[in-house]
Amino acid sequence: EGLPIYNKVAINEVGYLPNDKKTVFVQSKTDTKFEVIDRETNKSIFEDKLPEAVFDPATDEWIQLGDFSQLTTPGSYIVKSESGESYPFEITDGIYDNLYKDTVLMLYSQRCGMDVNVESVPEFSHKACHMDKATVYESDETKDVTGGWHDAGDYGRYVVAGAKTVADLFLTYEDCNADSDELGIPESKNGIPDILDEAKYELDFFFKMQDEKTGGVYHKVTCANFPETVMPTEEKDPLILAPISDAATGAFAAVMAKASVIYKEYDEAYATKCLEAAKKAWDYLKDKDKYSGFYNPKDIVTGEYRDGIAEDEVYWAAVELNIAADMKIDLSKYLTDRVSVNLGWADIGGYAMYDLIEADIKGSDVAKEKFFTQIDLLKDKASKDMYNITLDGKYPWGSNMSVANAGMLFRMAARITGDKEYDVLAKEQLDYLLGANVMSYCFVTGYGELSPKHPHHRPSQVAGKTIPGMLVGGPNDAKEDPYAKAVLYTEQEARCYADSDQSFSTNEITVYWNSPLIYLLASSMK
């Protein structure tokens, strides 16, 4: 296959709700106008002038932006200008419904430790995998740690990454009325919203990752090395529990405490169990005078999830315990300058602050101040970027998560303030992910005309096809894999993406890249 054609006219390839703001991004210096063509009649039904071109340093391109928000009539369209035409897209109610469902089903397909049946691609189905006990690193102790989600294109199970995913699902449930019980997972129609059933699958695994004696939580369970390109049932090397970490223990305590609030109305006993586990983890953390980061032991080379700062996870735990159980932990002790307002797997302060602001209890004023300082900064960055993203022209590994996280933060700001401007910003992050970017790539498998076909994802590689609804990592200007280094060496930062299963630093998928997209979609659906 040759290189794909990057359209010079970029839009959200999935499409728009009738009343959404709709922007077309034309890579040109001299175009004068654009028109929207109805694909059914082939007639132009909307036309407007394009403004003078602006140079965008982040993408090294001249660009002209057009607005067709006034077009609200449902239909299937393309946008045309002198420079070319866009990929097709639709305007209609419910435009994100299927995509939302697929992004949640992606999590189901990542489940470990049970028989998985994937309807869309039966080749993905497999028997229960990773059923052996794991050995605690440098000891003879073995433990049952079955369950949870495979992290990504590999089959490791990592607590900090899983905690971010669960946190996003919880917020989707709380903020977006995401209470469908018919998404098509085994627990559908059990009276509990599927999004909570899916999160519970990870939590049930989390319980097993806690050390009964100390309350500390193991950072991850993987083999010593990444697997070959095989299905999960074929990864047979011994499973190792990496050492307990403060980051994993803090993140665990936070999501367990929050789970005790969320599951209460569905299963009181389960909620109590969650709270007890959270308190036990807190006991492990509370009297330490110093929190240390996590680094891979030298003979374990799987995903490191290196985290040099654990204060944010500890703060998050304290916040959620105060909310869930009125523990009256002095939050000021934990909210240091090392706690940043973010929703990553490493920097998670944003989750703590948002929940604190919403709960409106002691400590929420300072959290609010910090939160909005960050929002202002992001807003400023978005206003300087021609595609409205907040990356400053820098694209780290998993840049699409940074975009999706910024979208979540904007949406949270909209919810707190009622200011619609933040809603627009949130939606613009979604537009970028779905095609309104310099590569005109819809970064979600199975959606849009130009989208990833060869993700670095072992089941996809074995099957030779992929399931819809997976968000890939996206451009990574550091080109952190050999393929990207070789193929993208002359590419400008924003274009450092390759749809190759060899490019694990640009084209992998993960549960915690899908989860902020899930929130963003669910909160954009109405």
Binding site for Zn ion (CB under 5 A): 112, 129-130, 232
Single out the catalytic residue among 20, 35, 102, 154. 154
Find the catalytic residue in 312, 481, 499, 501.
Answer: 499
Tell me the two tokens of residue 281.
Answer: 């983890």
Asked whether position 405 contacts ligand 9MR by CB under 6 A, the answer is no
303 binds, among ligand 9MR, Zn ion, none (CB under 5 to 8 A by kind): ligand 9MR
Nearer to ligand 9MR by Cβ, of 311 and 508: the residue is: 508
CA–CA separation, 36 and 22 (whole Å): 11
Among 15, 113, 227, 303, binds ligand 9MR (CB under 6 A): 303
Nearest C-alpha neighbor of 41 from the set 68, 77, 94: 77
Q: Which one of 6-14, 121-129, 303-311, 334-342 is the stretch in contact with ligand 9MR (CB under 6 A)? A: 303-311
Of 350, 363, 398, 455, the residue at the interface with ligand 9MR (CB under 6 A) is 398
Q: Is 168 in the site for ligand 9MR (CB under 6 A)?
A: no
Stretch that binds ligand 9MR, among 81-89, 104-112, 301-309, 332-340 (CB under 6 A): 301-309
Is 152 a binding residue for ligand 9MR by CB under 6 A? The answer is: yes
Q: Which residues contact 209 (CB under 8 A, 6 or more apart)?
A: 145, 159, 217, 218, 221, 241, 248, 252
Is 307 a binding residue for ligand 9MR by CB under 6 A? The answer is: no
Q: Around 116, how many Cα atoms within 13 Å sit in the side-chain half-sphere?
A: 29
* Residue entry with tokens 């302060």: 349
Q: Tell me how far apart the alpha carbons of residues 311 and 116 are, in angstroms, rounded to a whole number.
A: 37
CB atoms within 10 A of CB 416: 16
Partner whose footprint covers residue 220, from ligand 9MR, Zn ion, none (CB < 5 to 8 Å by kind): none
Closest approach of ligand 9MR to the CB of residue 251, in Å:
15
Report the C-alpha gap between 472 and 103 in whole angstroms: 12
Identify the burial level of 90 via C-beta atoms within 10 angstroms of its C-beta, where 0-12 means exposed, 13-18 middle and 19 or more buried: middle
Measured from the CB atom, the residue of 89 and 504 that comes closer to ligand 9MR is: 504
Determine the residue type at 443: F
SS3 444: strand
**Two tokens at 198?**
């899916």
Respond yes or no: is residue 499 known to be catalytic: yes
- How open is the CA angle 33-68-420, to the nearest 5 degrees? 140
Outline where 177-310 has alpha helix (H): 194-209, 246-262, 268-286
Q: Does 510 bind ligand 9MR (CB under 6 A)?
A: yes
Cβ pair 232, 129 in contact under 8 A: yes
* Dist. CA 166–CA 286, nearest whole Å: 23
Give which of Zn ion, ligand 9MR, none residue 112 binds (C-beta under 5 to 8 Å, depending on kind): Zn ion
CB of 50 closer than 8 Å to CB of 34: yes
Q: Which of 333, 214, 220, 334 is nearest to 284 (CA)?
A: 214
Q: Choosing from 235, 423, 493, 508, which is the catalytic residue? A: 508
Residue among 397, 432, 441, 447 that touches ligand 9MR (CB under 6 A): 397
Residue 232 binds which one of ligand 9MR, Zn ion, none, with CB within 5 to 8 A depending on kind? Zn ion
Stretch touching ligand 9MR by CB under 6 A, among 114-122, 148-156, 257-265, 410-418: 148-156
150 catalytic residue (yes or no): no
Compute how many other C-beta atoms are within 10 angstroms of the C-beta atom of residue 237.
11
Give the nearer residue to ligand 9MR in terms of CB position, either 31 or 151: 151
Instruction: Give yes or no: 380 in active site.
Output: no
The residue from 313, 456, 481, 501 that is catalytic is 456
Query: Quick one: 114 or 327, whose CB is closer to Zn ion?
Result: 114
Nearer to ligand 9MR, 215 or 475 (CB): 475
Q: Is 154 in the site for ligand 9MR (CB under 6 A)?
A: yes
Helices in 241-286 by DSSP H: which ranges?
246-262, 268-286
Contact flag: residue 444 with ligand 9MR (CB under 6 A)? no
Q: Is 97 a catalytic residue?
A: no
Q: Report, as residue numbers or ranges, the catalytic residues.
A: 154, 456, 499, 508
Task: Give the interface with ligand 9MR as residue ranges (CB under 6 A).
Answer: 151-152, 154, 156, 303-305, 397-398, 504, 508, 510
